[in-house]
Chains A and B, each alone.
Chain A
């Protein structure tokens, strides 16, 4: 009997040793893995405030946000109409224009092609804007329309809309 309870006690001790040891090892590894996440100085640069008062209608600017280009375009009346009147069934990734903008004239997009990550053309006046008057990705020929939606080519999705808000009429905060 005595030996039996001895054994039980030992089993318990061994089990708790192994358990606590395993928990301790996991807890020890955690900070190491965590250290690979973006550091605080990187996170602090995660929001960008952009003054858009200088942009004329029909013009675009490119700003850097989290190391990626963000396109801000002040759309013309025609471009807005074009974007709003598209038939949803023509779209590969159907999305209403109204869901992609906060104010009709301002289109804010992450300028990274959803195919393989190239930066599409269409920001400069001299650039090819593609068949749908928006952006054209030269890598594999994806065409985006005036709402940044994919219309033709291999890209599976529309250009992403980053989180942003209007601090006032002329300042956009991205991130």
Chain B
């Protein structure tokens, strides 16, 4: 029986006591202390940490805002302005929350770009990618719901337009829309449920983020070379080596977001949302939040209501199957001379879509949106599988350690090496 005494892992008896009953301390040590990170990871690998920090900041600022917000059509607009005017530091909380949402999307988009470019979605991290797409979807839903809460003109009409999408579904559409709204138009019932859902969804996101992180820690992080970890020499411990890089990233991010929060807090806001919602007057241009604009462009590029809705949701759904559309075994685009350019073009195309998504859907803009739509789907359904078959990738380096030390000057690694130093 003497063998069953509590193991003395830690000097601190309290930690030992907890560890014996719930091995949470060794878990954190393993996952965030000694967790091996490939040495050659560049600052793109800090965006996961940045996104987590932003999510927590959004949740915290949201909770404190909710303490002062009134989800009622008669009072919502004024209660938000009361937060800005009368609540202590209320303006700061609100500007952190509204600009934080935009920056959250910037960070997550860069995180996705990194995952696509370096092939982080491939074996054995497919499930990780799928969880990520779920997070992205939930983020879009949450931001849409949150945008309704200030009950300005854009809130009201944005909610009206988006919920009307559901009425495109044959047979059940109208009923579904009414069920979602709890009213025949966007009304007080809608505002109340949107608030309830906007409050709870971030916690769901937080949970999935936990799974997302746990999943990536099973096989370890990908790296710019896209090759597997072979020895201990390929890695450094997360603490302190990666943590310190993440801290630098946080500081740079802090400067950027502070510049916006304190010196241009309404740069990314729509002026119409400072006009209280009026169900009788539609603003001249209804524009979605810029971070949802690419999908809005796809929606409007299709002349058929149901078709547009289907393609818009399809554009998101197709992301789920990307790991199986890509037929190449090589992860990093650094070693894929052809695919790399199509990938870059895909990113540019996505931004062009976003750009035209915020402009009126007519003439040249509509044409651009249609070309962009074709490339978006063409990239996933044709280019990605096809290139995987015909492309001859460059020779992969022998080990991460080699890459880190800059082995093979003539190898195509120079770009990523520059980032390391």
Chain A: residues with CB nearer than 8 A to chain B?
Answer: 17, 21, 31-32, 34-37, 39-42
Query: Does B67 make an interface contact (CB < 8 A)?
Result: yes
Asked, given contacts A17-B247, A39-B68, A41-B82, whether A32 binds B60 with beta carbons under 8 Å apart, the answer is yes
Question: In the complex, what residues of A have CB within 8 A of residue B93's CB?
Answer: 31-32, 35
A35 touches B60 (CB 8 A): no
A36 touches B64 (CB 8 A): yes
Chain B: residues with CB nearer than 8 A to chain A?
Answer: 60-61, 64, 67-68, 82, 85-90, 92-93, 247
Beta-carbon nearest neighbor of A41 in chain B: B86
A171 to chain B, nearest CB (A): 27
Question: Which of the residues B82, B85, B86, B89 comes within 8 Å of A31, measured between beta carbons?
Answer: B89
B247 touches A31 (CB 8 A): no
B64 touches A35 (CB 8 A): yes
- Offer 25 A-B interface pairs, CB within 8 angstroms, sorted by A: A17-B247, A31-B89, A31-B92, A31-B93, A32-B60, A32-B61, A32-B89, A34-B89, A35-B64, A35-B67, A35-B68, A35-B87, A35-B88, A36-B64, A36-B67, A37-B88, A39-B68, A39-B86, A39-B88, A39-B90, A40-B85, A40-B86, A40-B87, A40-B88, A42-B86
A27 to chain B, nearest CB (A): 12
**Listed residue (A17, A21, A31) with the most chain B CB atoms within 10 angstroms of its CB:** A31
Beta-carbon nearest neighbor of A29 in chain B: B60
Beta-carbon nearest neighbor of A32 in chain B: B64
Question: Which of the residues B85, B89, B247 comes within 8 Å of A35, measured between beta carbons?
Answer: B89
Beta-carbon nearest neighbor of A13 in chain B: B244
Q: What 7 A-B pairs have minimum CB-CB distances, sorted nearest first?
A: A31-B89, A40-B86, A39-B86, A39-B87, A34-B88, A41-B86, A35-B88
A36 to chain B, nearest CB (A): 7
A24 to chain B, nearest CB (A): 9
B36 to chain A, nearest CB (A): 22
Beta-carbon nearest neighbor of B61 in chain A: A32
B373 to chain A, nearest CB (A): 42
Given contacts A31-B93, A35-B93, A39-B90, 18 further A-B contacts (CB under 8 A): A21-B247, A31-B88, A31-B89, A31-B92, A32-B60, A32-B64, A32-B93, A34-B88, A35-B64, A35-B68, A35-B88, A36-B64, A37-B88, A39-B88, A40-B86, A40-B87, A40-B88, A42-B86
A37 to B68, CA, bound (A): 11
A35 to B247, CA, bound (A): 27
B90 touches A35 (CB 8 A): yes
Question: In the complex, what residues of A have CB within 8 A of residue B64's CB?
Answer: 32, 35-36
Question: In the complex, what residues of A have CB within 8 A of residue B89's CB?
Answer: 31-32, 34-35
**Listed residue (B64, B88, B92, B93) with the most chain A CB atoms within 10 angstroms of its CB:** B88
A17 to B61, CA, bound (A): 25
Question: In the complex, what residues of B have CB within 8 A of residue A35's CB?
Answer: 64, 67-68, 87-90, 93
A32 to B90, CA, bound (A): 9
Question: In the complex, what residues of B have CB within 8 A of residue A32's CB?
Answer: 60-61, 64, 89, 93
Question: In the complex, what residues of A have CB within 8 A of residue B82's CB?
Answer: 39, 41
B5 to chain A, nearest CB (A): 35
